[in-house]
Structure 1
Amino acid sequence: MKVDWKGVYPAVSTQFRSDQTIDLDATQTVIDNQINDGVNGIICLGTVGENCALYPEEKRQVLKAAHEVVSGRVPLIAGTAESITSAAVNYMQDANKIGIDGCMVMPPMVYRTSDTETVDYYRALANATPDMPIMIYNNPVSYGVDVNLEIMSQLAEFENIVAVKESTTDTRRITELYNRFDDRFTVFSGVDDIALESLMLGATGWISGLTNAFPAESVAIYKLASQGRYAEALEIYRWFLPLLRLDTIPTLVQCIKLAEQVCGRGSEQVREPRQNLKGEARSQVITMVEQAIATRPDLSKYNL
């Protein structure tokens, strides 16, 4: 599949049983429901998918299950988060064999690479998987490495590095990317609570966490923004914003999975060392989601 890099791509959750084993059937159901609700693509094994909490063989199992259920309906992108260059190469080559349509690649995990090391890391992956479209995942806030404009200028020579998930939280970076590279890279917003602002500045897509709980509303925001109907998009966005902020805190995975559960779309179970939310933190998220359900906008009035 040639990836159509636009629209809403949820970073879907990986479903676990209470004994910490992966529930592949439930994970497929989560993905299938997202596609049926109109999302434009699927990000499997991103942060919300708990990539770094899975063994290597488990990652391949999840990718195979995702590929089976997606069945070519939308682009399927594999989150790539490894601490060793050779491990990332092996993972991406395996993803290619499975039939994954592209990889969203973070800088090396744990060790904070220098600019030179970051360029060399992406160069090695691009050279090793020339047929795999690559999206750079730039999230210096959480992971300490900024894939800055100078790095992107060096990565521009690789034809298969085609997109960037921009998660600096600084919306100015989107304009800077377009000013520097025109349309060389497709730009996605990667921060839920600046999604509409990012779309207004030219981002062509949104990689989202809270879409796991509210896909229809997320897709509506994107469609309205893409049509220039910003005032209408803002109506939904203002309703959504309190929940979108859950995507920006350290317990974002637990919050999003709990929101899924309250909405009847998945289980809150996470894999240790993460722990399910407890006490006041859990109650607050449940209250927020229930309030959102009770006040959710009537999407039919937008004639989408």
Structure 2
Amino acid sequence: MTGWRGVFPAITTQFKPDQSIDMAATAASIERQVKAGVNGVIMCGSLSEASTLDGEEKRAMVKLALDTVKGRVPVLAGTAEATTRNACKFAEDVAKIGGGGLMLLPGMIYKSDRRETLAHYRTVARATDLPIMVYNNPPAYGVDVTPEMFAELADEKTLVAIKESSDNVRRITDIVNLCGDRYILFCGVDDLILESLMLGAVGWVAGLVNAFPDETVQLYRLAQKGRYEEARALYRWFMPLLHLDVSVKLVQYIKLVQAEVGLGTETVRMPRMPLAGEERERVLGIIRAAVAKRPKLQALAAE
């Protein structure tokens, strides 16, 4: 089984003003994350605006990450295709490029039932030797991979990890009770991370890490070391920002945070548009209040 654990940023795709990909800025963002001590990076996820990237662009993003990290951390590719066939093809492409794994979503657009969802994951799992993180996010995508379904999928050797984003932290315990240590458990909801780590998750697919990499890594390390009083204090400071990860407009919100702290721009690709009016001022207020109280971090080595 792969040794995935720790903080895995879902990297935002940086765009130029004309909405073409800014390769240099995206590479710089990845490098900043690695220097902060993250344990892996994920390209082409929801936060990467993957639904607006064509196939060539997605492959280019994976290649860019591989060229940037140079083997220091694994690179996973979000795999969210409308058909199972295209998901298998993309998995093959990622393997050829040299990617370290996949973060696999259900088929997009059509909301599959239980039988169809299991068949989708089994088919892609058998089409590649790459390790796969199953991304379960029923609030966003309308398809739920339940703990019972994970137990049924346990015989698929390439399905090694779960990104649990059901917004129900009880799921961590339910999965462990049904599946034991069969899967590596990742939290995919920023504002449930401390609870998830205490219940058995060992990884965090993070969003606000794009703007606050040092604080994100510190929070994870404090929790892993059992220093919960310090972790709670940092979590409480971070929470208003972490709440921005669980909105339909998480991409615009997080990119605005990046712009405010000098780690990116708020340019998004249509049909998304940058925030405007009262909404933008409200989010800016949250960001600026947090920055004004930004804690000073002490050096904390990884285990």
Fold agreement, TM-score > 0.5: yes
Task: Tell me the distance in 2 between the aligned counterparts of 1:292 and 1:172.
Answer: 29
Note closer, same or farther for the CA distance 1:302–1:63 as it changes in structure 2 (3 Å cut): closer
Give the one of 236, 239, 264 matched to 2:237. 239
Please identify runs of 4+ aligned residues in structure 1 that moved more than 3 A.
301-304
**Normalised TM-score (structure 1):** 0.97
Q: Contact 1:3 / 1:102 at 8 angstroms: preserved in 2?
A: no
Task: Tell me the distance in 1 between the aligned counterparts of 2:94 and 2:301.
Answer: 38
Q: Contact 2:62 / 2:75 at 8 angstroms: preserved in 1?
A: no
**Normalised TM-score (structure 2):** 0.97
Task: Tell me the distance in 2 between the aligned counterparts of 1:146 and 1:265.
Answer: 34
Task: Tell me the distance in 1 between the aligned counterparts of 2:56 and 2:88.
Answer: 15
Task: Tell me the distance in 2 between the aligned counterparts of 1:273 and 1:27.
Answer: 20
Q: Alpha-carbon deviation of 1:299?
A: 1.1
Q: Alpha-carbon deviation of 1:55?
A: 0.8
State the match for 1:294 in structure 2. Answer: 292
State the match for 2:214 in structure 1. Answer: 216
Task: Tell me the distance in 2 between the aligned counterparts of 1:63 and 1:89.
Answer: 16
The 3-state SS of whatever aligns with 1:265 is coil
The 3-state SS of whatever aligns with 2:148 is helix
CA deviations over 1:160-211 (Å, ceiling 9, x no partner): 1000000011111000111111100010000011111111111001111101
Instruction: Name stretches of at least 5 consecutive residues in structure 2 with no aligned partner.
Output: none
Q: Contact 2:47 / 2:207 at 8 angstroms: preserved in 1?
A: yes
State the match for 2:82 in structure 1. Answer: 83
The 3-state SS of whatever aligns with 1:39 is coil
May I ask how many residue pairs the two structures share in their alignment? 302
Percent of matched pairs sharing the same residue = 49
Task: Tell me the distance in 1 between the aligned counterparts of 2:15 and 2:51.
Answer: 14
State the match for 1:16 in structure 2. Answer: 15
Matches within 5 A, 1:16-95: 16-95=15-94
State the match for 2:188 in structure 1. Answer: 190
Q: Contact 2:2 / 2:160 at 8 angstroms: preserved in 1?
A: no
Q: Contact 1:3 / 1:75 at 8 angstroms: preserved in 2?
A: no
Q: Alpha-carbon deviation of 1:154?
A: 2.1
Task: Tell me the distance in 2 between the aligned counterparts of 1:117 and 1:212.
Answer: 34
Q: Alpha-carbon deviation of 1:86?
A: 1.1
Instruction: Name stretches of at least 5 consecutive residues in structure 1 with no aligned partner.
Output: none
State the match for 1:202 in structure 2. Answer: 200
The 3-state SS of whatever aligns with 1:164 is strand
Task: Tell me the distance in 2 between the aligned counterparts of 1:119 and 1:95.
Answer: 22
Note closer, same or farther for the CA distance 1:303–1:63 as it changes in structure 2 (3 Å cut): closer
Note closer, same or farther for the CA distance 1:9–1:303 as it changes in structure 2 (3 Å cut): closer
Note closer, same or farther for the CA distance 1:157–1:303 as it changes in structure 2 (3 Å cut): closer
